[in-house]
Structure 1
Amino acid sequence: MVTITEFQKIGVGLVGFGVFFILFGVLLYFDSVLLAFGNVLFLAGLAFIIGLKRTAHFFFQRHKLKGSTFFLGGVALVLMRWPIIGMAVESYGFILLFKSFFPMAFGFLGSLVNIPYLSSLTWSD
């Protein structure tokens, strides 16, 4: 069993609040303050979960440099109060950063159908 440290628990909370503020900022017509606060919380939570060194290593790998530039540039644009352009740039960077993760995530979601009792609850005729 994997043990979760207190810092990782705090990081999960920070990432959760960051995602909440980002979604709430988008719902309130791209409120730049909420989006900026959400971005800062998300990045801080990521650093708490995997550590500062691994976070820096993740963002600054040679093959992920383009995605990191777009993602962090979008965060900077949001912080400079250009929320719509910043979120568009940030979204493109997010897709570039995590494009290798998407097939695994979709495969996991597809395997949820094979769970006993869950498959009988969903898509039953």
Structure 2
Amino acid sequence: MVVITEFQKIGVGLMGFSLFFLIFGVLLYFDSVLLAFGNILFLTGLTFIIGIRRTAQFFFQRHKFRGSLFFLGGVSLVLCRWPIIGMLLESYGFVLLFRSFFPMALGFVVSAVNIPFLSAFSSSSSSMV
């Protein structure tokens, strides 16, 4: 069984708040303050979950340098109140950084269809009419 520390629990909470602020900032026509707050919470939550050393190793790997440059450059542009351009750069950097994670996440979503409770929602054979 995996032991989750208190710092990791705090990190998950920070990531949840960052997701809320990022979505709310986009819905309010790219409000730069909400987006900046969401970005800061995202980086802080990631640091709390995996640690300072592993966060630095993640962002500064040689093969992830371009993704890190775009992501951190987008964060800095959002902090400088250029939210639309910053979010575009940040999104591209996020895709470059986490592209090795996407197949695993897709496999998890596909396997979630086999869970009995969730398969009732995804099946199209039953009709409500």
| Superposed pair shares fold, TM > 0.5 | yes
Gaps of 5+ in 2: none
Query: What is residue 3 of structure 2 aligned with on the other side?
Result: 3
The offset of 1:68, in angstroms, is 0.2
1:57-96 equivalent positions in 2, closer than 5 A: 57-96=57-96
Could you state the TM-score of these two structures normalised by the residue count of structure 1?
Answer: 0.96
Q: Quote the Cα distance in structure 2 between the aligned partners of 1:117 and 1:31.
A: 38
Q: What is the SS of the residue equivalent to 2:63?
A: helix
Gaps of 5+ in 1: none
Query: What is residue 113 of structure 1 aligned with on the other side?
Result: 113
Q: What is the SS of the residue equivalent to 1:75?
A: helix
Q: Quote the Cα distance in structure 2 between the aligned partners of 1:47 and 1:107.
A: 26
Amino acid at match of 1:66: R
Could you state the TM-score of these two structures normalised by the residue count of structure 2?
Answer: 0.93
Q: What is the SS of the residue equivalent to 2:116?
A: coil
The offset of 1:117, in angstroms, is 4.2
Q: Quote the Cα distance in structure 2 between the aligned partners of 1:24 and 1:120.
A: 31
Matched, 1:49 2:56: no
The offset of 1:122, in angstroms, is 2.6
Q: Give the ranges of 4+ consecutive aligned residues of structure 1 lying more than 6 Å apart after TM superposition.
A: none
Aligned length: 125
Amino acid at match of 2:24: F
- Identical amino acids, percent of aligned pairs: 75
Q: CA RMSD in A?
A: 1.0
1:22-37 equivalent positions in 2, closer than 5 A: 22-37=22-37
